[in-house]
Amino acid sequence: MQKSKETIQRLIRASMGEVKSDLVVTGGRLINVYSGEVLNGVEMAVSQGRVCYVGPSADHTRGDETRVIDARGRWIAPGFIDAHTHIGHFCRPFELLQAYLPHGTTALMASCDEHTVAFGFTGMKLFLDEVASHPLRVYTLISMAAPQDPLLCETESLSDEQVEEVLRDPRVLGLGEVVSWLRLVQGDPDLATRIDMTLNQGKIVHGHTAGARDRRLNAIAAASVSSCHEPISGEDALARLRLGYWTMLREGSFRQDLEATLKPLLAAGVDTGRLILVTDGMAPDDVAAHGHMDHVIRRAVACGLSPVRAIQAATLHPATYSGLEQDIGGLAPGRFADFVLLDDLDSVRVGATYIGGEPVAQAGETNVAVVPPAFPDGMGLKTAFRLPVTAEDMRVRCDESRARIRVMDLVNQTITRERVVEVPCAGGVVSADVEADLLKVAVFDRREGFSPAFGFVRGLGTDIGAAGTTVNLDEYTLLVAGSSDYDMAYCANLLLENGGGIAVVDKGRILEEIPFPIGGLFSLAPWRDVGEKLAAVQGILKERGSAFPKPLYALCFLTFVTLPELRITGRGLVRAKERRIIPLMAE
């Protein structure tokens, strides 16, 4: 946010004591992220939400109405920044911001993927208005996952005119992660146009370079993609650092990569000045269990980074990369007075969070009591499929006695390999086989077609009639996996009637359901309630045999066509590296 002439003049006078400050913080140990020091005997003064003085004595700024915070025994740190995240699924954005505040997070950079996929340009505007109603500072990135890839997906895209309009909005930081980097290196003119528009506005482009190496990684950097949050090894992270990327190390709900990335970098002795700590999304159950950016900083410290350097990677570094270092990222004159009082530095134990010098969270609870804007009517999940879905709709027909099918073989919760498996066709259909750990997957298209696309997944390890979700990256449509055609149909109908959500069904009985009435994206319930329900779903799938820590996420990633190797959308099976739809039946 650009400071006005009036703000600049007031800050100068407040620094000199000519006008009195609103707040003075005294007695604590200040974490100076600019010098890398922890300073004793330093006071900080605040005027109209911005720092106006940092030094040995702020007495000259005190007046009769100046509030004083005695921070003795505490550390004063800049507010934490999550520089790459997603806040549009499971809970409404406002609720997730409420969840994050008590953990010291005062700003974040969020791609508006979910709202844009579900509602297009209208969704983006709804997102901007919702996050603006909350004091946590949200800097929005334009979705580049709507669609992920027009060759493979049906989701609508923003027009160039709409992108140009939102790029002019000061709340918009730039382009979100360019998930389909293959399109970029193959010279896709639409992507080149979007990047050109963004650079002309002086804004940034986030990257998603999973699997890119050598020439391709160079090409993506040459296209002015300036960051990447996808390193999963020390080698990945070092390659990106050496090519000038701001390298984001991730520790969130979907992926936990710090152990594999940060430790090797520290062992190599490389400069950490362009490392940024991020979550890439933190679900409400994990916030309740672990925290938010405080948790990520703790994990970095456990991996060998000093507490001060870890805090730099979650404050100054992301602010500098984002071009916001004159507003956030450190406690110095002119910056927003966004700070955290830490009860303990080594364990990063947050006692209180302040934004603009005002308390927004204390003792693990938010102080924010404003009401978010209401959603318009008719915002539920919409698909081209007609109700009710029947077991007959879930059958995969086969004219032979046996068939060779392509299977999405789970390597881990996010990565698959393509396998060809021979299966029987009893009664003219290909069925799931729990004994062989083979579940059927049906994906319904949001906009076109009246029958689902089918696939099979192996490796989930759960014995369940059906599990369904309308949160799946980055399609956000109805996906149901299971072993029973009847349970799969029941689960599909339940989710469509709920307007979207998550459900687990077995033998005609609902084991758990979470309605997501807004676009099939999220609940309107309080974040803790949603977190408990999510934990229950994950627990059921694990109790039924899955060895994954979060089995639901394996289903959520099946539609993500920019990760290896075999994926599925409403159009069919996708061979990701070839950007090609392929048939279920192999020759």
Instruction: Assess whether pLDDT exceeds 90 at residue 173.
Output: yes
Average pLDDT value over all residues in the chain: 96
Quick one: pLDDT at residue 518? 96
Mean pLDDT of 328-340: 98
Mean pLDDT of 196-222: 97
Quick one: pLDDT at residue 384? 65
Mean pLDDT of 335-364: 98
- The confidence band for 203, taking pLDDT boundaries of 50, 70 and 90, is very high
pTM attached to this predicted model: 0.97
Q: Are 444 and 528 in contact (CB under 8 A)?
A: no
Helix runs in 257-314, H state only: 258-268, 284-290, 293-302, 307-312
Segment holding 249, helix H or strand E: strand 246-250
Mean pLDDT of 166-183: 95
Instruction: Assess whether pLDDT exceeds 70 at residue 448.
Output: no
pLDDT digits (tens, 9 = 90+) for 3-32: 999 999 999 999 999 999 999 999 999 999
pLDDT digits (tens, 9 = 90+) for 536-582: 999 999 999 999 999 999 999 999 999 999 999 999 999 999 999 99
Quick one: pLDDT at residue 27? 97
Taken in order of first residue, the domains within the chain and their CATH numbers are 97-312 (3.20.20.140), 391-582 (no CATH)
Percent of residues in the chain assigned helix, strand, coil, to nearest 5:
30, 30, 40
The DSSP call for residue 545 is T
- The confidence band for 449, taking pLDDT boundaries of 50, 70 and 90, is low
Residues in Cβ contact with 492 at an 8 Å cutoff, skipping those fewer than 6 apart:
389, 394, 442, 444, 466, 468, 478, 480
Quick one: pLDDT at residue 146? 80
pLDDT digits (tens, 9 = 90+) for 367-412: 999 999 999 888 887 776 677 999 999 999 999 999 999 999 999 9
Quick one: pLDDT at residue 2? 81
Quick one: pLDDT at residue 385? 67
Reference 203, options 182, 178, 176; nearest CA is: 176
Mean pLDDT of 198-206: 97
Distance, CA of 208 to CA of 231 (rounded, Å): 9
Distance, CA of 273 to CA of 316 (rounded, Å): 9
The residue to which tokens 């689960």 are assigned: 491
Instruction: Assess whether pLDDT exceeds 70 at residue 415.
Output: yes
Quick one: pLDDT at residue 1? 66
The DSSP call for residue 91 is E
What string of DSSP letters covers 549-587? SSHHHHHHTTT-TTSSSEEEETTEEEEGGGTEEE-SB--
The DSSP call for residue 376 is P
What is the chain's alpha carbon radius of gyration, rounded to the nearest angstrom? 25
